[in-house]
Amino acid sequence: MLRVIVAGATGLIGFSLVKKLSANNIQTIALSRFKNNKERFNLPHVEFATYDEVKLDPQEDFILINLAGENLGAKFIGKKRLQELYDSRVAVVDKLFKICPKPLAYFQGSGFSAQENGEHNPFTNFALSLEEYGYKTFGHSKTTMLRFALVLDDSAPAIKIFKKFPPLYFLDGHNHLPLISLESCSEKLLFLIENYKSQSSFVYLYDKTLTLNELFSLMHQSKFKLPLLRLFLRFFDLRGSLLDFDFKENP
């Protein structure tokens, strides 16, 4: 019988995954930093715990899913803030190692930015460094990095922010961005968990790609658009760099 630990269970993807695991009768421990999140997890087959109070039976085996960390689209990000986000994610990996040092498999949330050259985008080194730390810490277990696409959901922080932009047309906006729906995301994660023995060291999670201009057209229906270069996004803050990729992998 599968037993799964989900760290970051209150996040957008984490909570969706916990609900999917519950619906499929999979025993799940939902981890959060705060006790006041407990009421959200009144679900069949789900046990809620904080990182500090969780206690595992050493005779039981678990699959560990690390989706913890503040959503990168939630707040302004400068270089200092990016370092703080990195340090907080490293601290979570260390804490999870103390909780479950030898999981059957370890999955760690990452981003599609990990596919790019490190000199191209500030999030590339961020993602690759965190992946390296995860491999180093849990390398004795079956370890897979989950390179998530942009979640195309109205509740996603990044989508909320980009909808606040005025209607834009990017003169160089023909770069392809990977996108995934929240439901598809949890479905794919469930499949990976159920087939954990056959997973590779990393996997891209996405449904389709759209060009940057196609993405903005979905969010803004206006016929009158302000022409700009993609470079404009980087003046917004580092989050704009998340839209400055050209992703051409096949699902």
3-class SS string, 26-86: CEEEEEECCHHHHHHHCCCCEEEEECCCCCCCCCCCCEEEECCCCCCCCCCCCHHHHHHHH
In a domain, residue 175? The reply is no
pLDDT of 116 reads 55
Res. 249: pLDDT tops 70:
no
Q: What is the pTM of this model?
A: 0.92
Q: Looking at the 3D structure of the chain, how many domains does it have? A: 1
pLDDT of 129 reads 94
User: How many CB atoms within 10 Å of residue 157?
Assistant: 16
Range of the domain at 77: 3-149+180-206
* 67-87 pLDDT tens trace: 999 877 777 888 898 999 999
Residues 6+ apart with CB under 8 A from 193: 2, 4, 21, 26, 63, 65, 105, 107
User: In angstroms, how far apart are the furthest CA atoms of the chain?
Assistant: 63
Res. 51: pLDDT tops 70:
yes
What residues form DSSP beta bridges with 228?
A: 170
Res. 204: pLDDT tops 60:
yes
The CATH number covering residue 76 comes to 3.40.50.720
Quick one: pLDDT band at residue 135, thresholds 50, 70, 90?
Answer: very high
In a domain, residue 19? The reply is yes
Cα(159)–Cα(149) distance, integer angstroms: 12
Res. 13: pLDDT tops 70:
yes
Q: Cβ distance 129 to 110 under 8 Å?
A: no
Cα(224)–Cα(230) distance, integer angstroms: 18
Res. 117: pLDDT tops 60:
no
Q: Exposure pattern of 232-250 as b/e (b: 16+ CB <10 Å)?
A: ebbeeebbbbbbbbebeee
Quick one: pLDDT band at residue 118, thresholds 50, 70, 90?
Answer: very low
Quick one: pLDDT band at residue 250, thresholds 50, 70, 90?
Answer: low
In a domain, residue 216? The reply is no
Cα(197)–Cα(89) distance, integer angstroms: 25
Cα(31)–Cα(6) distance, integer angstroms: 6
Half-sphere exposure of residue 29, counting CA atoms within 13 Å on the CB side? 24
Between 164 and 150, residue with greater pLDDT: 150
In a domain, residue 15? The reply is yes
In a domain, residue 238? The reply is no
pLDDT of 161 reads 80
**First-to-final CA distance of the chain:** 29
In a domain, residue 37? The reply is yes
In a domain, residue 55? The reply is yes
Cα(178)–Cα(210) distance, integer angstroms: 7
pLDDT of 164 reads 82
pLDDT of 56 reads 93
Quick one: pLDDT band at residue 19, thresholds 50, 70, 90?
Answer: very high
In a domain, residue 251? The reply is no
